[in-house]
Amino acid sequence: MTKYVYFFGSGSSEGSADMKNLLGGKGANLAEMTNLGIPVPAGFTITTESCVYYYKNGQKLPEGLEDQVEENLKKLEKAMGMKFNDRNNPLLVSVRSGARVSMPGMMDTVLNLGINDEIVAGFIEKTGNPRFGWDSYRRFIQMYSNVVMDMDSELLEHILEEKKKEKGVKADNDLTADDLKSLIPVFKAKVKEYTGKDFPTDPMEQLWGAIKAVFNSWENDRAIRYRKLNNIPSDWGTAVNVQAMVYGNMGEDCATGVAFTRDPSTGEKIFYGEFLQNAQGEDVVAGIRTPHPLRKDRKTDENLISLEELMPEVYQQLVDVYKRLENHYKDMQDIEFTIQNNVLYMLQTRNGKRTAAAALKIAVDMVNEGAINKTTAVKRVAPSQLDQLLHPTFDVKDKATHKVLAKGLPASPGAAVGKVVFNAHDAEEWAELGEKVILVRVETSPEDIGGMNVAQGILTARGGMTSHAAVVARGMGKCCVAGCGDVSINYKSKTFTVGDVLIKEGDIISLDGSTGEVFNGEVKRITPDLGGDFEIIMKWADELRTLGVRTNADTPNDAAVARKFGAEGIGLCRTEHMFFEGDRIKAMREMILSSDVAGREKALAKLLPMQKADFKGIFEAMNGLPVTIRLLDPPLHEFLPHEKKAIEELATDMGVSVEKLESKIESLKELNPMLGHRGCRLAITYPEIARMQARAIIEAACEIKKEKQVKVLPEIMIPLIGDVKELKMLKEEILAVAKKVISECGVDLDYTIGTMIEIPRAALLADEIAAEAEFFSFGTNDLTQMTFGFSRDDAGVFLPDYVEKRILEDDPFQTLDKNGVGKLVEMGVKLGRQTNPKLKVGICGEHGGDPRSVDFCHKTGLNYVSCSPYRVPIARLAAAHAAIDSKK
Amino acid sequence: MTKYVYFFGSGSSEGSADMKNLLGGKGANLAEMTNLGIPVPAGFTITTESCVYYYKNGQKLPEGLEDQVEENLKKLEKAMGMKFNDRNNPLLVSVRSGARVSMPGMMDTVLNLGINDEIVAGFIEKTGNPRFGWDSYRRFIQMYSNVVMDMDSELLEHILEEKKKEKGVKADNDLTADDLKSLIPVFKAKVKEYTGKDFPTDPMEQLWGAIKAVFNSWENDRAIRYRKLNNIPSDWGTAVNVQAMVYGNMGEDCATGVAFTRDPSTGEKIFYGEFLQNAQGEDVVAGIRTPHPLRKDRKTDENLISLEELMPEVYQQLVDVYKRLENHYKDMQDIEFTIQNNVLYMLQTRNGKRTAAAALKIAVDMVNEGAINKTTAVKRVAPSQLDQLLHPTFDVKDKATHKVLAKGLPASPGAAVGKVVFNAHDAEEWAELGEKVILVRVETSPEDIGGMNVAQGILTARGGMTSHAAVVARGMGKCCVAGCGDVSINYKSKTFTVGDVLIKEGDIISLDGSTGEVFNGEVKRITPDLGGDFEIIMKWADELRTLGVRTNADTPNDAAVARKFGAEGIGLCRTEHMFFEGDRIKAMREMILSSDVAGREKALAKLLPMQKADFKGIFEAMNGLPVTIRLLDPPLHEFLPHEKKAIEELATDMGVSVEKLESKIESLKELNPMLGHRGCRLAITYPEIARMQARAIIEAACEIKKEKQVKVLPEIMIPLIGDVKELKMLKEEILAVAKKVISECGVDLDYTIGTMIEIPRAALLADEIAAEAEFFSFGTNDLTQMTFGFSRDDAGVFLPDYVEKRILEDDPFQTLDKNGVGKLVEMGVKLGRQTNPKLKVGICGEHGGDPRSVDFCHKTGLNYVSCSPYRVPIARLAAAHAAIDSKK
């Protein structure tokens, strides 16, 4: 017979802290505390397995569970010296959920269970407190009818409110025992009226109702959403904890509180918590009354009285307990306690949630205290949490005073404040005059790069987390709120509206890129300090990780920022971004509009010195580190204007007719540009482009080496390869140019030529391709698009449905799809190394900065990941986690 | 030492007919004929291996070749009793190419080699014919200077012309020996002037020059293009045949001719050929003089004299030879012969090219004659050849009288004549009035389906072989010329122009869908008769093949046509085509414009009976055969109009504002519709569409079964699956509807549910998907698009470059890419059957009708291929070929 129920109480438990998967976090820790001899009200835990069984079998409880619950109820009665369903010495219980990981407030709880008209009398006799008795009873009916019987909680709350009005009182506490007693039949009648059922009076029936309700709450909307947000698998299930009630609200010698063993905001080693006298636990959380500090030295107001002063003995006991707990768990604890008639009961302990700064400090401090080792310390900081530290954030208090104007997708973190402008040109002009601007667009295109670059933040009305705006903004480490559908933009009048609110060009708005919120006016900001703890943890992480971390950077400035964040090279330098600035776009357009090789070569010759200068800057910034440069990738039409006026201007500029220009633009239009004439296909058609770029790279490398003794390690990367013959053909072009330039310069230069693997066919035929490649870099953005057949620009319409309906666990553009895309990556690595054992393999898609994807990259044996500069520390830490996890 | 040279002559050879790969077709057959004791001028063959070596080693001849050639030259001298480079008894030779398969006229030939100023004198002495001697010499200089020394042939031809003018004669034949003699120094001087080199006088130097020139001609433009067109690998190389010269032009007792052992047009068992008296072989081909028939009974004009009459003995010898050859090779032979002084020499025999009709007749006849078995007969007919038979064709003679107006891609075979219209609406109106129309569009879209359906043919200015127009036309078996860039369309004036020619609405044009030609006016047509031979070969093919052949058909009519062609079921019935006609598009649009489920369901309810009626018709047509119905696939925007006027009409029609309609159309726009909201993704968002379609299918099946005792085997196919959860979710919807409908109807019905595998991820995770699928159908069109990252609508810009530069051997949309896409198909089949051994697997992309792709499908173990109705016989025959080939 499977054991479905685990008992704890009387100083020993059937469970322990390492049984979290089976007993849930709460249940395992209650068992552990009991084992440690810490005072915990006795109880028992119904396993998560029971919940899993329940869902796998059409919401049926497993056989044997009933007997085991009854048996444990007996043990519980014995441990507490009270009896369930006994008028004379009644035992009341709480029924609480508890999954493997904490899902605060997401699932249901029932308190004071086991009470009815008869038992309440005995309860009153025993406590000698009629008001308390009736209050517990009415609270139970309210909670139970809501949680178990699916009644809207407002229905009974309304009756309570009416009663208070009738009695002319304000607080629940002001109602007398008789008032409360008089509510019971009214409540019951309302339940009958609303549900068509009598409120259950049998305590056992109540108990099973509550147990099932907790199981059911695993699949309520809130819980589902929470799991999705926190990547908690839906097949874990929840445990149910049935525990003897203790009361913090039985009189003045009672209290209830919560505490952290260290400060969860700063990490400071200070016992930190609050309590309420004569109150139930829920009251502290609900914030109806202002709680008091536990410690005397934490009083902010003379009128407050600390627990230390109020109940010095119990306080000392609590201090002993918290120290034992932290010492035992070797981590900062978040504890809940209740004091009933001057007796301390612990109701919960768990590892406390903390800010990124606190996580760093606690981890470092605990290593210094000798409590944990460096490996544990590194694992204590979640990589994704670091994001908070790397961008300025809004002052929480000031933010609270601003109403949210609109909400979009949190596309790129940061807190931006600036004046609204509606096009890239204005953004650049205003910025030149020293203005801080927010660029507001329906969506952005590569033409907007300049404006995005000078803006504080970007707000778009359309596009998803991987839209152009989002991707480029993250690359720049720039705040971006994307796909903000509430915003209705009128370019002509240079205004946008949200409902009735009209925002004009020049008005100040604030964007929170971590939440997607948009505020009218300026919200104050704070720049977190990357203190010594950050450096220490990152140093330890670097010692532990084996996976390299590079950055995606297109400018010397990006490269320098990334290097400061610990990047060990550039994994992706996109050369096309270099073609949008100033005169360059002109030369680029001239190239595109040329009808023959000679014309194209003439235009390319103008681009050569500019591109070379960029490369020199980047090589210098990355002195001694490898720099992977990708040849031109986007379709040519991205470099041409699409609006009538811009076309006319360009035509005049170029000295061609508007018709000719329009017809060229038309001829470059594609139905599916994603699958069109781009990447290496451009170089196959126009090898002169690849030749110019190869020359720019090699000349830059030779010159900077000669001029400044910079150590240059260029890696030339050919994008969008689908067949080895493409690579071979272009490699030959590049080798010929490189050979020529190197001999012209008279410099020794090592460089490599490799390819992106971003087309499924390339991964499938990686063995052939590796014969010609010195390195692979998985372009998992495009690889994901083609493997799924999802256009990331269009998937916004249906992807949310997919995640909502749980067809996909994650947005595959955010977290690498291990099953499908990952299979291709694994094949690519395996086949590639089969042919070329020295093949260097990296990844340069957006996934390179996503911790779970980094874990996959480590497991798959990649040499490095490459991500945007601001995600480099996150990737470093994630790589360390991956190394630690895979050693287990 | 590798043997590079094989001798033939004096009744025995070192080679034989089965050494075609090494000796080329011509060399192997010359050896074989020699072995058979048939009179062949002696000679030797330099192997194709030598040519391969030549190209692999920077155009260097293999070591040892020189010695072997000299040695064989000695043998040749001995066999012929003459000497190379000998004034007194000179041996002249021909040097000819000869690859594995015949590449007529593509590579170079040099005749009369071994002559110079001195030898010509001896040659004249020996033949006693000075005119013949000087003519041979001048011909040699002309040929050699052109082929070996790269001189434009016009340069010497011009001198010849001048001489004729000077002498006041018209034909070369009218020049005297002295005239010709006088040309020699002039020719030589011109060669020197033009090439800077003396014309070589040393016969050995001449010989090596010619051998290398033949090798070089393997890589000339014509040869490369021919190989590409005929899928001949470039690494085969050519052999070189050096053979003693014999002359058909030495006098009136000389002749030269070509013949087929049966009629190559009809296949009739009749010796069929022509000859010219006193002429060189080239003269027959060049058509300067009208050749005479070989047989007396074939004289069309009393002035002609047949070989039978002219040289009865030699003729009889020729008849003996041809019979022996056909009997030996057991196939119709294409032979070349020369008669020198009443002596017959055979210069070539090879399997003769023939029309499809002839191929069928010869194969069947030869089985009846006991010459070959059925398997050989089936292999004798090329599947792709059948295409000729299945569509009406233009009368060749009448076609020759029309000038080609423009040329586009031969997108769908057929010969169409009709009046030009410029939109689908007009096409339908005109057709209703009994007019035959040709629909001319820049490109077509699903809105044009109705017009395409009633048109005789379709002409588009844009789009490739797999553009919408091409695919739909092939599906309809309708003639289509696509991507005809010469055509400039003006919708407003309802005209198109090609250069100066203006074609107005209502003008008659003719389209040849097999060549891509467009003619002004009407070209006469003939409908080939699918005679008994066709039926017999197809029956034999069916006995031999193991792969099933189904059809892609969307209407009862298509289904009936395909069944007549031997389809064993429908592999793909596209339901969306059903939504474009008449009222349906209205209901469909109403559905799309509805903002809630109720509205959509209301509109869908209107579509239900119409779709059901279609299905009933199709089920009835396919009585007893399986019908695979694909649920709605294209993105919804394809059902909405995009032109201003149509939008305004629809808005009025629907009772919505133009703005609302426009904004809906705008919201459905996608950047990459190929990777957008379509296929099963629509059904995930709007399950009510899948429910309606499931109901229509199952109700139709139940009703037709009940009403007409039709045996119905519906297979419901869900498109664009990327994850098993999509399939599972939609399967549940369909199962629920089906269960309900079946019980409502009270009929027993077996049906299956399966999926298309057209997204790389689906192939990669086929094991998971097969757990929920009863069948897979590989949608290799989309699979190719996504595996390559090629949009077939846009790839037209760069794919030609790819084939031209030999990065890809074939257009992957025409012939399945075995390496890449094929690897996914293999994975899909293997993984799928791993989970579900009973999984039925087919293919329904355009590749299903391509013979080489059918071969791949057979090898990969598919159960069936599905193709457009008109390609069903081709697929049946290709499947038989595949079965035969894989037994070898």
Q: What is the pLDDT of residues A171-212, one digit of tens each?
A: 888 899 999 999 999 999 999 999 999 999 999 999 999 999
What is the rounded distance in angstroms from the CA atom of residue B637 to the CA atom of residue B670?
A: 9
Poorest-pLDDT segment among A27-36, A46-55, B438-447, B755-764: B438-447
**Partner-chain residue, chosen from B671, B798, B808, that has the shortest CB–CB distance to A673:** B671
CB environment B797-815: b (16+ within 10 A), e (fewer): bbbeebeeeebbbbbbbeb
- Quick one: tokens of A206? 């109540």
B677–A794 C-beta distance less than 8 A: yes
What's the pLDDT score for residue B287? Answer: 57
User: What is the spatial distance between Cα B510 and Cα B420, in angstroms, rounded to a whole number?
Assistant: 10
What's the mean pLDDT in A574-598? 87
Å from B601 to nearest chain A CA? 20
Question: Residue B243: which residues within 8 A CB-CB, separation 6 or more?
Answer: B30, B41, B42, B43, B44, B93, B94, B96, B347
Q: Which of A254, A479, A680, A844 is catalytic?
A: A844
Query: Taking 80 as the threshold, does the pLDDT of residue A105 lie above it?
Result: no
- The full DSSP string for B663-698 is HHHHHH--SSGGGSS-THHHHHH-HHHHHHHHHHHH
Q: Does A18 touch chain B (CB under 8 A)?
A: no
pLDDT at A469: 83
Residue from B254, B680, B844, B857 carrying the catalytic annotation: B844
Residue A107: pLDDT band (50, 70, 90) is confident
Task: Provide, as residue numbers in chain B, all residues whose Cβ is less than 8 Å from the Cβ of A794.
Answer: 670-673, 675-677
Whether residue B720 lies within 8 A of chain A, CB to CB, comes out as yes
Quote the pTM value.
Answer: 0.84
Q: Is B847 an active-site residue?
A: no
- Is B729 an 8 Å CB contact of chain A? yes
Residue B791 touches chain A, beta carbons under 8 Å: yes
pLDDT at B385: 86
Predicted confidence band of residue B349 (pLDDT cuts 50, 70, 90)? very high
Cβ-Cβ contacts under 8 Å, B670 against chain A: 791, 793-794
For chain B positions 617-676, those within 8 Å of chain A (CB to CB) are: 670-676
What whole-number percentage of chain B has pLDDT above 70? 98
Partners of B685 on chain A (C-beta within 8 Å) are 797-798, 801
pLDDT in tens, A396-422: 889 988 989 999 888 888 899 999 999
Q: How far does chain B reach from its first CA to its final CA, in angstroms?
A: 32
Q: What is the pLDDT of residue A115?
A: 97
Distance in Å, alpha carbon of A820 to nearest chain B alpha carbon? 5
Whether B499 has a pLDDT exceeding 60, the answer reads yes
Task: Choose the closest CB to B675 out of A789, A805, A823.
Answer: A789
Residue B220: count other Cβ atoms within 10 Å of its Cβ.
Answer: 14
Q: Is A805 on the interface with B (CB under 8 A)?
A: yes
Inter-chain contact B760–A789, Cβ cutoff 8 Å?
yes
- With b for 16 or more beta-carbon neighbours within 10 A and e for fewer, the A221-255 pattern comes to eebbebbeeeebeeebbbbbbbbbbbbbbbbeebb
Using one digit for the tens of pLDDT, what is the confidence trace for B711-723?
999 999 999 999 9
Residues in chain A closer than 8 A to B765 (CB atoms): 819-820, 823
What residue has token string 């989002």? A470
- Mean of the per-residue pLDDT values for chain A? 92
Whether chain B has a CB inside 8 Å of the CB on A530: the answer is no
Per-residue pLDDT band at B288 (split at 50, 70, 90) = low
Confirm whether A468 is a catalytic residue: yes
Nearest by CB to residue A820, choosing from B674, B684, B764, is B764
Give dist(CA B332, CA B372) in Å, integer.
Answer: 12
Cβ–Cβ contact A430 with B under 8 A: no
**Is there a contact between A759 and B801 if contact means CB atoms under 8 Å apart?**
no
ipTM of the complex: 0.83
Query: How far apart, in whole angstroms, are the C-alpha atoms of residue A344 and residue A525?
Result: 42
Residue B685 C-alpha, separation from nearest chain A C-alpha, in angstroms = 7
Find the closest chain A residue to B825 by CA distance. A764
Residue A285 has pLDDT above 70, yes or no: no
For residue B807, the distance in angstroms to the closest alpha carbon of chain A comes to: 5
What pLDDT, on the 0 to 100 scale, is given for residue A536? Answer: 97
pLDDT bin (cut points 50, 70, 90) of residue A805 is confident
Contacts of B723 in chain A (CB under 8 A): 807-808, 820
How many Cβ pairs within 8 Å bridge chains A and B?
171
Q: Is the pLDDT of residue B820 over 90?
A: yes
CB contact under 8 A, A807 and B675: no
Q: Look at residue B61 and give its three-state secondary structure.
A: coil
3-state secondary structure of A97: strand
Q: Is the pLDDT of residue A530 over 80?
A: no
Interval A163-178: pLDDT, tens? 999 999 988 888 999 9
Of A232-236, A377-381, A859-863, minimum mean pLDDT range: A232-236
Looking at residue A777, its pLDDT comes to: 98
| Smallest Cα distance from B678 to chain A, Å | 10
Q: Do B684 and A801 touch (CB under 8 A)?
A: yes
Residues B658-677: tens digit of each pLDDT = 888 888 888 888 889 999 99
Under DSSP, the state recorded for A437 is E
Note the pLDDT of residue B669: 87
pLDDT in tens, A342-353: 999 999 999 988
Share of chain A above pLDDT 90, in %: 71
Q: For residue A528, what pLDDT is reported?
A: 65
Asked whether the beta carbons of residue B806 and residue A673 sit closer than 8 angstroms, the reply is no
Which pLDDT score is estimated for A377? 97
Options B51, B254, B391, B468, the catalytic residue: B468
pLDDT class for A642, splitting at 50, 70, 90?
confident
Query: CA–CA separation, B4 vs B638, rounded Å?
Result: 63
User: Who among B729, B789, B823 is closest to A675 (CB)?
Assistant: B789
Confidence (pLDDT) at B353: 84
Q: What is the pLDDT of residue A527?
A: 67
pLDDT digits (tens, 9 = 90+) for B410-463: 888 889 999 999 998 899 888 888 789 999 999 888 778 788 888 999 999 987
Contact of A807 with chain B, judged by CB distance below 8 Å, is answered with yes
With 60 as the cut, is the pLDDT of residue A287 above it?
Answer: no
Per residue in B423-448, is it b (16+ CB within 10 Å) or e — as a string? bbebbbebbeeebbbbbbbebbebbb
Question: At a CB cut-off of 8 Å and minimum separation 6, what does B112 contact?
Answer: B92, B94, B136, B137, B139, B140, B143, B245
> Cβ contact (<8 Å) for B820 and A672?
no
* Residue of B476 and A638 predicted with greater confidence: A638
pLDDT at position A580 is 80
Q: At B266, which helix (H) or strand (E)? A: none
Q: In this complex, which of A684, A791, A797 lies closest to B672 when CB atoms are compared?
A: A791
Confidence label for B800 from pLDDT (cuts 50, 70 and 90): confident
pLDDT at B190: 96
Q: Looking at residues B816-844, what average pLDDT do you find?
A: 97
Query: Residue A288 has what pLDDT?
Result: 60
Rg of chain A over Cα atoms, rounded to whole angstroms, equals 33
